[in-house]
């Protein structure tokens, strides 16, 4: 049960990271050209990689030691994102 709670928390953190990246720095400007800021790609792709595998493990192997290690490692890595 606790594994699924933390998996939901990881998904919420991923969505929050995307929202914060959109709010604070959606675009970068180089002269007159405008492009998507690299923080957007990091929030979407990096957050997805950090969230989807622990979500899979929490659903397929709830309560195991492996799932606890995977989820706790993902939480620590999300703090560095």
Q: Cβ neighbours of residue 14 under 8 Å, at least 6 residues apart?
A: 47, 48, 50, 51
Average pLDDT over residues 3-12: 88
How high is the pLDDT of residue 42? Answer: 80
What is the extent of the structural domain holding 50?
Answer: 2-80
Instruction: Quote the pTM value.
Output: 0.76
Indicate the range of 31-35, 42-46, 55-59 predicted with least confidence: 31-35
How high is the pLDDT of residue 19? Answer: 86
**Which helix H or strand E contains 4, and what residues bound it?**
helix 2-24
Q: How many domains does the chain have?
A: 1
């Amino acid at each position: 049960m606790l594994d699924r709670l933390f998996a939901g928390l990881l998904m919420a953190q991923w969505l929050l990271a995307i929202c914060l990246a959109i709010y604070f720095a959606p675009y970068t400007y180089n002269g007159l050209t405008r492009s998507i800021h690299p923080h957007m790609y990091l929030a979407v792709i990096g957050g997805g990689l950090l969230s989807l595998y622990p979500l899979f493990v929490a659903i397929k192997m709830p309560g195991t030691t492996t799932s606890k290690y995977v989820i706790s490692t993902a939480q620590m890595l999300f703090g560095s994102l």
